[in-house]
Structure 1
Amino acid sequence: MAAVNDMEKKLAEYKCDTNEAISLKLVRFPEDVEDDGITFHPEYSHQCFGDDEIAFGYKGLHIQLYYSAGNLTTLFNVKYSSKVTDKFDCVEPDDIEGKIRDIIPAGFCCNTDDFITLLEKESKFKPFGALLHTYSVHNEEAGEDITYQIHKADVSCPGFREYHERLQTFLMWFIETASFIDVDDEKWDYFLIFEKYNKDGETLFATVGYMTVYNYYVFPDKTRPRVSQMIILPPFQGEGHGAQLLETVHRYYMTDPKVMDITAEDPSENYVRLRDFVLVKFCQSLPSFSPANLVHGFSKEMVTESQEKLKINKKHARRVYEILRLRATDMSDADHARAYRLEIKKRLVGPYKKNQRELAKMTRCLRPEEMSNQINIINLQVQHEELEKSYQELLADYKRVIERLAQA
């Protein structure tokens, strides 16, 4: 037994955290290849390396995945200080290269010199598709305003299919449940952000992030665009690009009379917060959401106006109303605060009441001891505590949106 434990300890030395081992870069200049300051790492690697996100068989494992900033030409290298087969027979290491090759498309470089040579072609790279929006962000470090462009593209754009294959690899590292899409389906729309920058007097473009939207059919003659995937690459996060992108996408679909409303597929908490901010920005200028109307509660006029003018569905309109109502409410006034709290909790309590109705149906066919167990599950005291917790969490989310609106 001692010998077995000793062997396990020795083999454990050949396990590496793949989130740390994988180094990603967006390379603009040849010197960037050796610049560790611009390296970033995945948040997830389980789709390649399993739920434990561990690679076995190597010491000092370093997986290089470097991309040219614009066209995303890829450099892929696997380096390590030693391999398990150097010391142990009949123990096979993980096929690192095979696992990564399943994610990245063919045509990548394995030689740094070849990759640097290809950087010279970046000047020929131009954003795909139609320009929808241009905006600037002040860069404190550079002491200047940086210009960004948002484009709408599709697979008919020459070179876009191959570019998208490289771009979507980032999803695997930064979205937990990501999957690749079928680009041959013409119902997909692609929205991309690019940064304009200068290199030796030339204007070049760097990839910042993108969003995919699928246009679902709604009987009899409408469509419902649904946001599927959205990512702002880590070097650009925290600069407001997500809000610029989502706002541009909404504005694009707002003008289409065939669009019913705009939704999202399995949105993350971060995406919901972003959507709250963008939709509140839009709705705060609508007459039905004026402070004078907010005090009278959520109305059919709010639903109709937000849907017709902004393509916002009823559920999202209600959430916008609650945020704007909070902003217009003096929460230091006990009566006003109580009125707001009761209105929000009235909506939140809906699922609990549904559980009670379902329980009433179940108890007709349950034995006494089974009925007692079910009643304990939805004990009223527990419900009140959970309801208060949900309310406080929602209040915190809403306050963050209001603070961001004030800063904007």
Structure 2
Amino acid sequence: MAALSTAEEWLANANDTINISLVAPSKSGLQNIATFHPKFTYSIFGEEEQIFGYKDLKISLRYRANDMRPHLKTTYSKKFKPIGDAEPTDIVEILQEGKHLPKIAFVKGNDFEDSSKQISDTWTPPGTLHTTIDTPEGQYEVWRGNLADQAVKQLNTRLQIFVPFFIEGGSYIGQDPESDSAELDLSDADRWTLFFLYQKQKVAGDPEKSSYTFVGYATIFRFFYFQPPTPPASPKGEWELPTGDLDLNELPCRTRLSQFIILPPFQGKGVGARLYKTIFEHYHKYPQTHEFTVEDPNEAFDDLRDVCDLEFLRTIPEFDALRVDPSVTIPKKGAIPRLILGGENLERIRLQAKIAPRQFYRVLEMHLMSKLPDSVRPSMALDSEVPSPTKADNHQERLWQLIVKQRLYRHNKDVLSQIEPNERIEKLQQTLGGVELEYARILAAFERSTGHSKPQSTAANGKRKLEDDSASGSSKKARVEDA
């Protein structure tokens, strides 16, 4: 027990010990803009996220707020003397050998501070200015660049440690997640595009000059999108490969948002949604992109994406007009008829929107649910008087539930086919309850974000209230982070 107590005295929680700060030069030296901690450190310091061998350990990771040049500094009051195999964690060695930080992060503090005084007043982020966003909180700029650009590559190298810090299961660009090697393969750098979000502010006392503060960034990867030939290729083999240079940027592609990070000090202000919309709109207009996808989103990003995608889809008149078809009668046997008014156009609308199938049909279900009669529409509203639904209201609710159950069954067909019919029905009903809760929560967020919310006494009236203990949807591994 004494030995255990002694060992615990030398342990420090890595998440709490690491202080990340954004700093900017001022007349009195470097000025602290914001300080925050990582969310995860297990991929760097082990599953327990513990650092052994120090007392009063502090790890300071300072970033220059504009070009994000990092500087690492560790301090402690006492260091453990090695006994056998027990020795202090070599913090610098772990960060260097794992290539979590660039070499420039390990220079002396004076070098970092002196270089900050020398940075040009005309500095701008790497890449090209993609768009400017004006908000009540100030002006933001989105800069876009290709990873093959050395300046973009340098900034990515400085930022990449935020991926394991804030994305559960996240890995670096070019890293093999199945390998222990820290080597990065950037042979496909030209297929990566990075979007950097900066806050732009006028310099106090000199309105002609501006300063930049890094807010967040996203990485995009392009996959080749195979299209079956129409009409089918000739069976005689008459087709030939094109000759000459082939520009890969002109090939059809599936565009995947791989990493998405808004730093903690800037979360909860809506800037993440603005960045996502900027990226989506860019690739929606890009003729080579046939589908826009997101890699393993977590729940927080899923919510942001759902709200943004619903807002976008409702700008398409054909989508906005979609409703459950109340004239449909469900047969006791045989095939189920089309349940949505205008449903024959769904795939054409999806292809026009360039949204992946699963995401499109989830957002469609949210849209259809929002159009149900008040008496049967699931809602997060509390203390609301719920009128009795009519027979027609119940029929529309049943049709909507059937639409959702059809998708759930297709998605889980292999598992559901192995259980008894009665249990299968019960499982689907439980999952449906979770879907209703999830959609009601997202629709409430949608109303808040788009300014469509009404006073609670009006909006809540007539909606079926959902309790928080309904079954929830499946958890997902997170590669995207924003709150």
Q: TM-score range by the shorter chain?
A: 0.7 to 0.9
| Partner Cα separation in structure 2 for residue 89 and residue 253 of structure 1 | 57
Give the C-alpha shift of residue 302 in structure 1: 3.0
Give the C-alpha shift of residue 156 in structure 1: 4.6
Are 1:153 and 2:145 counterparts?
yes
**Residues 385 and 314 of structure 1: CA distance in aligned 2, closer, same or farther (over 3 Å):** closer
**Residues 93 and 386 of structure 1: CA distance in aligned 2, closer, same or farther (over 3 Å):** same
Are 1:116 and 2:82 counterparts?
no
| Partner Cα separation in structure 1 for residue 414 and residue 83 of structure 2 | 61
Q: Is the 8 A contact 1:295 1:325 kept in 2?
A: yes
Give the C-alpha shift of residue 338 in structure 1: 4.1
Give the C-alpha shift of residue 279 in structure 1: 1.2
Question: Quick check: 250-259 or 75-84, which moved more?
Answer: 250-259
Residue in structure 2 matched with residue 321 of structure 1 by the alignment: 364
Q: Is the 8 A contact 1:302 1:317 kept in 2?
A: no
Residue in structure 2 matched with residue 267 of structure 1 by the alignment: 297
SS where residue 290 of structure 2 aligns? coil
Deviations 1:96-150 (A, max 9, x none): 11112231011125433332222221634312222222112223xxxxxx11111
SS where residue 207 of structure 1 aligns? strand
Are 1:390 and 2:441 counterparts?
no
| Partner Cα separation in structure 2 for residue 83 and residue 403 of structure 1 | 54
Residue in structure 1 matched with residue 319 of structure 2 by the alignment: 289
**Residues 138 and 317 of structure 1: CA distance in aligned 2, closer, same or farther (over 3 Å):** same
Deviations 1:65-91 (A, max 9, x none): 000001111111111111121xx7444
| Partner Cα separation in structure 2 for residue 34 and residue 56 of structure 1 | 31
Say which of 338, 348, 351 aligns to 1:307.
Answer: 351
SS where residue 157 of structure 2 aligns? helix
Aligned length: 377
Q: Is the 8 A contact 1:44 1:174 kept in 2?
A: yes
| Partner Cα separation in structure 2 for residue 136 and residue 283 of structure 1 | 23
| Partner Cα separation in structure 1 for residue 411 and residue 356 of structure 2 | 20
**Residues 81 and 151 of structure 1: CA distance in aligned 2, closer, same or farther (over 3 Å):** same
| Partner Cα separation in structure 2 for residue 243 and residue 391 of structure 1 | 23
RMSD of the alignment, in Å? 2.5
| Partner Cα separation in structure 2 for residue 127 and residue 34 of structure 1 | 20
Are 1:73 and 2:69 counterparts?
yes
Give the C-alpha shift of residue 384 in structure 1: 5.0
Runs of 4+ in 1 over 6 A off after TM superposition: none
| Partner Cα separation in structure 2 for residue 109 and residue 124 of structure 1 | 26
Q: Percent identity?
A: 27
Deviations 1:232-273 (A, max 9, x none): 111111111221111111111122222211011212222221
Q: Is the 8 A contact 2:404 2:432 kept in 1?
A: no
Counterpart code for 1:328: K
Q: Is the 8 A contact 2:324 2:399 kept in 1?
A: no
Residue in structure 1 matched with residue 280 of structure 2 by the alignment: 250
**Residues 319 and 385 of structure 1: CA distance in aligned 2, closer, same or farther (over 3 Å):** closer
**Residues 235 and 278 of structure 1: CA distance in aligned 2, closer, same or farther (over 3 Å):** same
Aligned residue runs from structure 1 range 2-81, under 5 A: 5-30=1-26, 35=32, 38-81=34-77
Say which of 191, 204, 209 aligns to 2:211.
Answer: 204
| Partner Cα separation in structure 2 for residue 380 and residue 181 of structure 1 | 41
Q: Is the 8 A contact 1:276 1:401 kept in 2?
A: no
Deviations 1:34-62 (A, max 9, x none): 75x82100000011110000001111110
Q: Is the 8 A contact 1:214 1:226 kept in 2?
A: yes
| Partner Cα separation in structure 1 for residue 425 and residue 320 of structure 2 | 37
**Residues 14 and 122 of structure 1: CA distance in aligned 2, closer, same or farther (over 3 Å):** farther
Give the C-alpha shift of residue 6 in structure 1: 0.9
Q: Is the 8 A contact 2:290 2:354 kept in 1?
A: yes
Give the C-alpha shift of residue 305 in structure 1: 2.4
Where do 5+ consecutive residues of structure 2 fail to align? 175-185, 228-250, 326-339, 377-388, 453-483
Residue in structure 2 matched with residue 367 of structure 1 by the alignment: none
| Partner Cα separation in structure 1 for residue 274 and residue 147 of structure 2 | 23
| Partner Cα separation in structure 1 for residue 112 and residue 370 of structure 2 | 53
Counterpart code for 1:66: R
Q: Is the 8 A contact 1:196 1:204 kept in 2?
A: yes
| Partner Cα separation in structure 1 for residue 300 and residue 344 of structure 2 | 28
Give the C-alpha shift of residue 303 in structure 1: 2.5
Deviations 1:278-297 (A, max 9, x none): 11111102121234x32332
Q: Is the 8 A contact 2:23 2:31 kept in 1?
A: no
Q: Could you state the TM-score of these two structures normalised by the residue count of structure 2?
A: 0.72
Give the C-alpha shift of residue 225 in structure 1: 0.5
**Residues 305 and 353 of structure 1: CA distance in aligned 2, closer, same or farther (over 3 Å):** closer
SS where residue 51 of structure 1 aligns? coil
Say which of 192, 198, 214 aligns to 1:194.
Answer: 198
Q: Is the 8 A contact 2:408 2:428 kept in 1?
A: no
| Partner Cα separation in structure 1 for residue 307 and residue 297 of structure 2 | 14
| Partner Cα separation in structure 1 for residue 35 and residue 202 of structure 2 | 21
Are 1:355 and 2:350 counterparts?
no
**Residues 268 and 122 of structure 1: CA distance in aligned 2, closer, same or farther (over 3 Å):** farther
Where do 5+ consecutive residues of structure 1 fail to align? 140-145, 360-373
**Residues 195 and 402 of structure 1: CA distance in aligned 2, closer, same or farther (over 3 Å):** closer
Are 1:100 and 2:99 counterparts?
no
SS where residue 123 of structure 1 aligns? coil
| Partner Cα separation in structure 2 for residue 211 and residue 353 of structure 1 | 34
Higher relative contact order (CA 8 A, sep 6+): 2
Counterpart code for 2:11: K
